[in-house]
Structure 1
Amino acid sequence: MHFLTARHIVDDLIRSCSPSSGDLVLDLGAGTGAITAPLAATGARVLAVERDPEFARRLRTRLGTTTNVHVVQADARTFRLPGKDFLVVSSIPYGISTALLRRLLGPRTTRLRRAALVVEWGFAKRLTEPLPRSTELAWWAARFDIRLLRKVPAYCFRPSPTVDSAQLLLRRRSRSTARGEQVLWALLRTAARQPTRSARSTVTALAGKGAHRLLRRHGIDPAAPTAGVRPLLWAAVAEDLAAR
């Protein structure tokens, strides 16, 4: 395990997520509490999730008198996420990054509003590519604004890993309709399976007439290959199609 120890990175993480008093904030993989403790000082309600029983015990001892912190010994990959709006501020273990992001960003019913995360550098670069490499990454990018804020050098951790990390900020985009998300998934899946198919052909297959005008309205070249259209633009097209 590699623990984030650079206080200036922790402070910047919290500041970027801007939790307010009363917000529900999760620290997934809380470890020694390097993020949990200063997060509690914001007045937010903090849920510190830690799998290791000894670290969980130490967290309870350290923060036992802090009334707005609740420590849960659980695996962040299976822990039941809140059924109401929540934020996440966390330095995510490299080995479970994909699994955690899948849980947070994947479900249509996710209640995640914002997240400030430290993840492995290469993973962060893949997440923030303008044209994601997979349907899943495109799905996340269409529904969340994912920004790479800074590189976090390996020396900010103890023990130091062999690679650098990155600070990410994720914000939920405007809520879309259930039907809009169904259409969006169909568009993204087509882009992955038939990357050279034209945007006009793809939209026509779903909606019939009017594809050319609809695409132009959203600044998309109708002749462009589906794989060359940014996920956020597909999300806008999907909502228009769903409203018909």
Structure 2
Amino acid sequence: MRSHSRRPAATSSGVHLLSDARVITRLVTAAGLGAGDLVVDFGAGPGTITAPLARTGSRVLAVERDARFVADLRRRFAGCAEVRVVHEDLRTVRLPRRAFAVVASIPFAVSTPLLRRLLTPVTSGFSHAELVVEWGLARRLTAACPRDLESAWWSCRFTLTVRRRIPARCFSPAPRVDAAHLGVRSRNLDHRTAAILWALLSAAYDRPRDPARAALAGLAPRRTTHRLLGDRPTAEVHTGQWLALAKALAADRSVIPPPLPARASR
């Protein structure tokens, strides 16, 4: 969701704007940014998050698709060398090649497409994020046992943490549901471990109701999978157990992982 400053409570697109200064301060502080860092504010709106990000000394890319907000942003930050306003859609804008963080309050409807762009590729400059997302989405992403392949891939490669619940009253106008402050940090898995992890998760979540060790027959030694996963069905395996299995197999140099698919490798 976008942050709110000097515009009316609602826009023609029905966007709910973040209006609580304490929430914004916590987002920026949690990111731990400083001079020379690159940070992206997706859905920058009128720049309520952009401004405190610029005060950290970071280089800020304020990405916004609404032409009215873009005009406001360019006027507001015309004399600020730290801020570059980008008139693009967050779902299609080219992401930075160099290391970058994300601090943003984005529309609930495009949270998943943005997370997919940030968390799916193995090769990416993305490092960490502090995001405002819908409460239910945050709870699903941080569940101990991922419910599907995509969620498992994300939670095994990134530490996803609900830092706090954000009441609907912190937005103007208030949405129907609460939001969450979601922290995202990379686990820094090497490419070999990531490739093995993808192979395991892909096979297991193709048969989510079967015992995971049965779904993984031929991919991993039965003794190892039984020791680490037991007889649990895929849907009941914890993120930590998937990580332990992938790392154990990565340590075995006789294991040759299949190549990552294009959607995960780029």
Q: TM-score scaled to structure 2, two decimals?
A: 0.84
Runs of 4+ in 1 over 4 A off after TM superposition: none
Deviation string 1:25-67 (CA, Å, 9 cap, x unpaired) is: 0000000101000110001111100001111111010011111
- Give, as a single letter, the amino acid of the residue that structure 1 aligns with 2:127: R
1:55 aligns with 2:74: no
Identical positions, percent: 47
Q: Could you tell me whether the CA contact under 8 Å between 2:132 and 2:179 is conserved in 1?
A: yes
Deviation string 1:168-208 (CA, Å, 9 cap, x unpaired) is: 1010112322x32222112112332223433444454213x
Match of 1:224 among 212, 215, 232: 232
Q: Could you tell me whether the CA contact under 8 Å between 1:77 and 1:100 is conserved in 2?
A: yes
How many residues get paired?
A: 238
Separation of aligned partners in 1, 2:40 and 2:167: 24
Q: Could you tell me whether the CA contact under 8 Å between 2:147 and 2:235 is conserved in 1?
A: no
Aligned to 2:202: 189
- Equivalent residue runs for 1:207-218 within 5 Å: 207=220, 209=221, 211-213=222-224, 216=227
Aligned-pair distance for 1:127?
1.1
Aligned-pair distance for 1:148?
0.6
- Equivalent residue runs for 1:94-173 within 5 Å: 94-173=108-187
Aligned to 2:101: 87
Separation of aligned partners in 1, 2:203 and 2:236: 12
Give the gaps of 5 or more residues in structure 1: none
Aligned-pair distance for 1:234?
1.4
Aligned-pair distance for 1:108?
1.4
Aligned to 1:23: 37
Q: Could you tell me whether the CA contact under 8 Å between 1:53 and 1:73 is conserved in 2?
A: yes
Distance 1:187 1:6, change over 3 A: same
Deviation string 1:185-243 (CA, Å, 9 cap, x unpaired) is: 12112332223433444454213x4x424763xxx243333332223431332233234
Q: Indicate the SS of the match to 1:58.
A: helix
1:180 aligns with 2:188: no
Aligned to 2:50: 36
Distance 1:80 1:233, change over 3 A: same
1:205 aligns with 2:218: yes
RMSD: 1.7
- Give, as a single letter, the amino acid of the residue that structure 2 aligns with 1:151: R
Distance 1:123 1:214, change over 3 A: closer
Q: Could you tell me whether the CA contact under 8 Å between 2:36 and 2:57 is conserved in 1?
A: yes
Give the gaps of 5 or more residues in structure 2: 1-14, 254-266
Separation of aligned partners in 2, 1:30 and 1:221: 43
Separation of aligned partners in 2, 1:214 and 1:123: 30
